[in-house]
Amino acid sequence: MNADPVDKRLIERIQKHPKYRELVTKRSRFAWILSGIMLLIYYAFILLVAFTPKSLGTKISPDSVISVGIPLGVFIIVIAFILTGIYVFRANGEFDELTRQIKEETK
Amino acid sequence: MRSTLPTVSLTGSLLWSSPAWAADPAAASAESPLNMTAIIMFFAFVAVTLGITYWAASRTKTTKDFYAAGGGITGFQNGLAIAGDYMSAASFLGISAMVFAKGYDGLIYSIGFLVGWPVILFLMAEQLRNLGRYTFADIVSFRLSRVPIRTLSALGTLFTVILYLIAQMVGAGQLIRTLFGLPYEYAVIIVGTLMILYVAFGGMLATTWVQIIKAVLLLTGATFIALGALHHAHYDFEAFFRSAMEGVKASGLADHKKVVADNKDIFAPGGLVSDPISAISLGMALMFGTAGLPHILMRFFTVANAKEARKSVFYATGFIGYFYILTFIIGFGAVVLVAPNPHYVDAIKGTLMGGNNMAAIHMAHATGGDLFLGFISAVAFATILAVVSGLTLAGASAVSHDIYANAIRGGNVDERVEMRISKFSALALGIIAIYLGIQFEKQNVAFMVGLAFAIAASANFPILILSIYWKNLTTRGALIGGSLGLITTVTMVVLSKTVWVDVLGYKEALFPYKDPAIFSMTLAFVGCWLFSKMDNSAQARAERALFDPQNVRCETGIGAVGASGH
């Protein structure tokens, strides 16, 4: 077991610090919500592929050959990228600031 | 070079290659004439990367340098390197070829390969960085008992790495024979030797730069091909897709004739995944397999802190997503520009010259002539090198860091000895990869990448994610759950059609699904949960008590292994 070198009292101080609890709650809720969105979109897509492949072949307009599946597929790729951007923006800003304060205040 | 192209089947191109994709060794015996432009460009790439290796070797003095490039890679560089590690020649040629032959189905694979990344970011990236040092086993053994957990993780790593390596080596041999006109064995030996040199001398620093250079070359090359395709349609998407649709109808290729005969819509899913269980199972393997690939996880230890780790995934997702959109355009572009040109078509076999996997390569010629073809061929070679180097480094680290330094020596080792062992492991892995690559030349190894992903999803991923998030996980639970995942995956794949029928030649598969992930992952999670819950030993209590300190480090990075000076 790699019992870590950080001293126990510091760990306890951090755990009791209200901002630590705030960080844990906010960050994990945010992370799981975003994961949920990604999983939901992806598995909805996979289920469309499995159950009604024809629906994805519907044309975007009567005089077009392009199916709705094409913009939808590209949309999933783009949304995956946007979701990572949203997470990084908030984590590297708000969450890292909170972490900095916790470190500062538990010294 | 086009007259006598042998068939290239990128083994392991996509997860479980359908028969149309499977290796066709009989057809791949002829050799092409030497392609000089490609060879000169490839030598330029090799010269540059060996120069980098020489430079990296002088900066690789400690284990931290060797495994993690000193922790000094930036988020942007690491994002490119991850993309370079992940975008294999198989996905470049394989996905564009699948779009070329079947249309929309190629996009389904691309999406599956991509959506694992956001989940890695949200749930794992910063945790990996804050808890780990060199391998993902560092994280799992943070609380859990060192010897058994390290051994299991190293086993999971080596299984994944060797399967993946064999598939890459065989693919490399066949591809290079076709592109460069070199004999298969030479190609495999060249790839193996170069990867040993990069890894053994340059460690993670050299490997990272090989991956970065390759990513830039591949993204640039693919961008030009895609622009060439769109340029032909005057950048009008309606016209582009219309000409692709008409191209399929007019095509003389067997795959396209079948699409027309079956009255399939190339812009809709074409029965690649037929039943819901297969669809979900494939989706799980693609998504969570990515999150359990040891060579990918290892990249998170090369950056200085959690901030940079997060940025890495953001950039990587952008590059990889962009790349998959390009392959989609290239595939349909090939229907328009390559399929109707007799120059690229093998009329007797009813495929493209060298097989349909060559669609992107022919597109390079169709859009940029001989010189550009040489460039793309060299890029394809460089791509393979970058991927196998990452794999070899991950495998070598499992041997030296997990098995030797931690499981055997209990963490008390001389750094220089550990590094020497790592270098010799890289050498040994390289030799094994060359040997097996040559042995498997005429075998159907298409199942190996799929198996590697399934093992990553069912053995590595469950114990990793549970050790981060679930307080009650104990050594016993992780061992039983992880082993169950590993054993059931291998068993189910061997009994499925991909191995039992296609490789071993039996008439009927004993297990009905190609992809075991939905069963093996579930079993692994249930195993971990059940046996952890039942574990009331003193050790289990101690392990649970360590969860809170672990979580503090996980969330705040306090106590995390920091970056060194360079």
For residue range B31-84, list pLDDT tens digits in order. Answer: 456 778 888 888 899 999 999 999 999 999 999 999 999 999 999 999 999 999
- Per-window interface: B 295-334 vs A, CB < 8 A: 306-307, 310-311, 313-314, 317-318, 321, 324-325, 328
Point out the residues of chain B with pLDDT beneath 70.
1-33, 271-274, 446, 562-566
Q: Name the helix (H) or strand (E) containing B42.
A: helix B36-59
Could you say which of B110, B310, B552 has the minimum Cβ distance to residue A15? Answer: B552
Decide if A7 touches B, using CB distance below 8 A: no
Taking the domains of chain B in order of start, what are their residue ranges? 25-556
Average pLDDT, chain A: 90
Average pLDDT, chain B: 88
Distance CA B62, CA B407 (A): 20
Q: Which residues pair with B345 in a beta bridge?
A: B352
Instruction: Give CA torsion, residues B478, B479, B481, B485, to 10 deg.
Output: 120
> For B555, which residue in chain A has the nearest alpha carbon?
A24
Q: Which long-range contacts (CB under 8 A, 24 or more apart) does B282-285 make?
A: B282/A46, B282/B15, B282/B16, B282/B112, B282/B514, B282/B515, B282/B517, B283/A42, B283/A43, B283/A46, B283/B112, B284/B457, B284/B515, B284/B517, B284/B518, B284/B521, B285/B15, B285/B450, B285/B453, B285/B454, B285/B457, B285/B515, B285/B517
CB B336 within 8 A of CB B243: yes
> For A60, which residue in chain B has the nearest alpha carbon?
B238
The confidence score (pLDDT) of residue B498 equals 81
Cβ distance of B310 and A87 shorter than 8 Å: yes
- Per-window interface: B 114-133 vs A, CB < 8 A: 114-115, 117-119, 121-123, 126
CATH for B25-556 (3.40.50.720, 3.10.129.10, 3.40.190.10, 1.20.1730.10) = 1.20.1730.10
Q: In chain A, what residues touch B138 (CB-CB under 8 Å)?
A: 2
Cβ distance of A2 and B318 shorter than 8 Å: no
Q: In chain A, what residues touch B543 (CB-CB under 8 Å)?
A: 1
Taking the domains of chain A in order of start, what are their residue ranges? 17-105
Closest CA to B373 of B389, B354, B387, B392: B354
The confidence score (pLDDT) of residue B10 equals 42
**Which residue's entry shows tokens 């040891």?**
B294
Decide if A32 touches B, using CB distance below 8 A: yes
> For B119, which residue in chain A has the nearest alpha carbon?
A35
CA atoms within 13 A on the CB side of A56: 29
The confidence score (pLDDT) of residue B23 equals 38
Q: In chain B, what residues touch A11 (CB-CB under 8 Å)?
A: 548-549, 552
Number of A–B residue contacts, CB under 8 Å: 186
Decide if B545 touches A, using CB distance below 8 A: no
Decide if A53 touches B, using CB distance below 8 A: yes
Q: In chain B, what residues touch A4 (CB-CB under 8 Å)?
A: 142, 549-550, 553, 559
The confidence score (pLDDT) of residue B33 equals 66
The confidence score (pLDDT) of residue B282 equals 84
The confidence score (pLDDT) of residue B5 equals 42
Distance CA A53, CA B268 (A): 7
Examine the pLDDT at A21 and tell me if it is beyond 70: yes
Q: A28-78: per-residue pLDDT in tens?
A: 999 999 999 999 999 999 889 888 888 899 999 988 999 999 999 999 999
Cβ distance of B276 and A23 shorter than 8 Å: no
Decide if A84 touches B, using CB distance below 8 A: yes
The confidence score (pLDDT) of residue B381 equals 86
> For A36, which residue in chain B has the nearest alpha carbon?
B119
ipTM of model: 0.93
